[in-house]
Structure 1
Amino acid sequence: MESITKNRQSPDTLRAMIAKAYGPHQVPDGDDWLREMGHGWFNVAYRIRLRDDSDVVLKIAPPSHIDVMTYEHGAMGIELATLRLIAENTSVPVPHVDYADRGHELCDADWFFMPYIDADNFGIVKDTLTAAERNTYNEALGAATREINSIRGTAFGPLAGPGDPTWRACFNRMIGDVLADGERRDVALGYDYDLIRRVIAQNQDCLDEVTEPRLVEWDLWDSNVMIRDGKIIAIIDHERAFYGDPLMEAGFTAVDLPAFGDPAAFMRGYGHDELTATQRRRRKLYTLYLILIMIIETDYRGHTDTTQYDWARERLHEVMALFGREAR
C-alpha cells in the first residue's frame, strides 16, 4: 500500500544502519540484498540479506515533517514498548528486536531491526485455506489476544502515561482526537461532526463498566499474524497499543459489522461468551472509532486510490444505523 508516511532511504543510508546495528562486517555486497516489503500501510519495511546470508527486517518510522494523526505520534516507540511487554509477560510469539535507534542521526526518524520471520501472512493466504484451517488460526488468535489483554496497566491510555483515571475520560479523549484530526483536514464523513459527537455523548455511560486498564493491541488483524504448520509463528505491528478495554480488540469488530467476517472462532478461542447489552453498546462505540480512523487516515496518508475511503464511508453508514441514525 502506497502512503506518504513511508520513509524510504537510500541504499547508502541503509548500509550505514546495518553497520550500526550489526557491525561493518555484516554490510552486504552487490545489488541483490534489499527488497521493500509493500504490505504495510504506515511504516516502510525492508527485507535485507546480511553478508552472512541471514535475513532481517528493517522498519523505519514516518518522516518527521509528515503530519500524522494524533494517536500515531511516537508510534514506533509504542511498538518497541509493546514488544517488550508481550515478550516479558506472555507466551505470545513476537519478533525479537535486534537493534533499535531513536537518535535520528542516520535518518529523521526512529528505526529498528528484527529477524525476518519465515512464515505466511494469515491475511494474505487465508483465502487459500480451508474453513477448518481458518477457524484453527482464528481460535489461536483469540487465545493470543486474551493473553495479551491479561497485562494490566496503572491508568487508561498511552503506555508511557500519564493516562486517565477512568476509561470514559480516556475513550472520549481518543475519539475526540480523531474527530479533531478529521476537522483539521476537512475530511468529509457523510455526517456532521457535531452529530457524531452527540451520538458519542448519548451512549458513553456504558464505558463506566470498564474499571481495570488492560493492554489492548487494537491492530491485531489477520494481516498482522504470521502462520506456519497450523500455528501462529509471530504477531507483528504493535504501534497502536494502549491500556483500555479488551473488548476494543480487532477480533470483536465483526460482532457489529458483517463486512469484517464471522467472529465466532475468534470469540471461541478468546473464551468470550455472547456479549451483554452493555458490552454491545461499548462495542458499537469502538467500531465507530475504528471506522472514523479508516476514513480520516486516507487523507493523512495521501492515498490517491479512494478504495479504502469509499469502503469505510459505507461502513460508517452501517455503524450510524446501529445508533438509529440514517444516512445523510
Structure 2
Amino acid sequence: MDRLAPAFSAFLGAACADGSDRKVDWVLLDNFHASMADVASEHKVPCILNMPYSSATTEDFGIPDPSVLPMFRPFVETFKRCKVIAARSSFELEPESLPLMTKILGKPVIPVGLLPPAPAGGNTQRDDSAALSWLDEQPSKSVVYVAFGSEYPMTVKQLHEIARGLELAGTRFLWALKRPSVAHPDEDLLPPGFEERTRGRGSVVTGWVPQTSILGHGAVAAFMMHCGWGSTIEALQYGHPLVMMPVLVDHLSTARVMEQRKVGVKVRKEKSDEAFLGDNIATAIRAVMCEEESKRIFVANAKRMQEIVADDECHKRYIDEFVQSLRTYKN
C-alpha cells in the first residue's frame, strides 16, 4: 500500500488545491492503511477508520497491544491517525457492546448500520453455478451450507475432521471448499472415499461460489462457518441459525454473542487438540438441523435477528446520520 502513497498524494494535492471542485472532506480508511493516513494528514484531510468487526470484538479485546500482537501494529498505527471510527454495527443488533466503543477507543464512534449485501435474486451467475443447480434438487430447508471465508487458518487435519463431522451428522450439506495455503499441491484434502459415501446428500464445490445466492436459496437451513462479521450478517439476513467454529480474535467475540442470543451452537473444542473434532462438529450440526426442540429455538432466534438485518429503512437512517455526523465533526 505504501507504493500507492505518491499517487494518492498527487490526487489529494489536486483535490485540495485552491479553486478545485473536487474538495475532499474525509478519507475513509481500512484497517491497515497508516501510510494513507499520513498522506491525508499532510494535506490536512481528516481520516475515518472503517471498523469492519463486531462491536463485541472491541468490548472483548479493546485496542490490541502491538508489542504482544505484532500483526496488529499496522491497525494500531492507522487507528492513531484517524479522527473518527465508523462501526459496521447497529444498536438494534449490538445494544450492549456498541455503546461502549467510544469509551473504550477514546474517539467518536459512529455506527453506519450493518450494510448487508443486496438480497439474492436476478444473479447473472445463476446459470453457471453448480452449487445453485445442486441446491435446486434438494428439499426445502434441508441443507447446511459450509464455508469458512478467505482468512480462516484452515489445515488439512481440520478439513478431515469437518468431513468426518458432516458424515457422522447424516444431514444434507453443501461445502464450499478452499484449498488451505499450508496444503501441498498434491495433497488430498478429503478423507478417502468421503465423497462416495456422502453422494446424494452432499456436494463439495471448489472455487468461488455465489454465497449470498446460496444463503438465499430455499433449500438452505443453516450456515456452518467461522463467525467472520460479514458472513454472520449475511447468514442473519436470511434468518439462518449458525454452527460456529471460531478461531481468530473477532470470530471468537461474534460467536460469543451469537451463542448468548441462542442463534446457533459453537462447536466444542478440546483443549488437547488444535482442531475441532468430527464428533463435536456432528453434535453441533444435529442440534441445529435435527433435534426438534433446539432447532426450533435456534430458528426462532435467527428469524428475530433477520428482522433487524433485513430492515433497509433502519440502515438508511444510519447512513444518513453518519453523513450528518461527519458534517458536524468536520466543522
TM-score between both structures, scaled by the size of structure 2: 0.31
Q: Which has the higher contact order (CA 8 A, sep 6+)?
A: 1
